[in-house]
Amino acid sequence: MGFPYNEASWSVVDGAMFMGWGGVTPFFYTLISIIVCIVVLLWGDAIEKSKYKQVEK
């Protein structure tokens, strides 16, 4: 990813300064974050269902 400005110096920073600014990285990490949330919910639901099955036996 690297420093988001041509020159790696704080003196040239005048705006966005997060990692990946100006490239596709923000989209990539946003997408991963969304997928993490969805997978955790699916996984959590499966675990919850298994707990309910145990108590119903």
Partner 1 sequence: MEDQIAELTARLSEIEASAGVTNTMFAEAYYYLTIPLMVLIHAGFLAYEMGASRMKNVLSSGVKNILAFAFVIPTFWFFGWWVYWAFPTGLSLSMGPMEISGAEYASAIALGWGDAAQYMGPNIADNASGVFWGAFALFAATTASIMSGAVIERIQTVGFVILAIVLGSFAWVIAAAWGWHADGWLVTKFGVHDFGAAGLVHAVAGFFALGVLINLGPRIGKFNSDGTANHIGGHNLPLTTTGLMLIITGFWGFLMACMILPGEGWSWFSHTGATIYGTPMNLSALSFNILMGISGGIIGAWLLTRDPFWMMSGALAGIISVASGLDIYFPAITFIIAFVAGLILKPAAGILESLGIDDAVGAVTVHGTIGLYGVIALGIFGAGYPALQGAAGEVATVSFLGQIVGAAVFALCGFIPGYVVSLLLSGLGMLRTPEAAEVAGLDPVKVTAAAYPEGIPASALPSD
Binding site for partner 1 (CB under 8 A): 13-18, 21, 24, 26-27, 30, 33-34, 37, 41, 44-45, 48-49, 51-52, 54-56
Place of tokens 């639901």: 45
Smallest separation (angstroms) from partner 1 to the CB of 13: 6
Question: How many other CB atoms sit within 10 Å of the CB of residue 4?
Answer: 17
CA separation for the pair 13, 26 (Å, rounded): 18
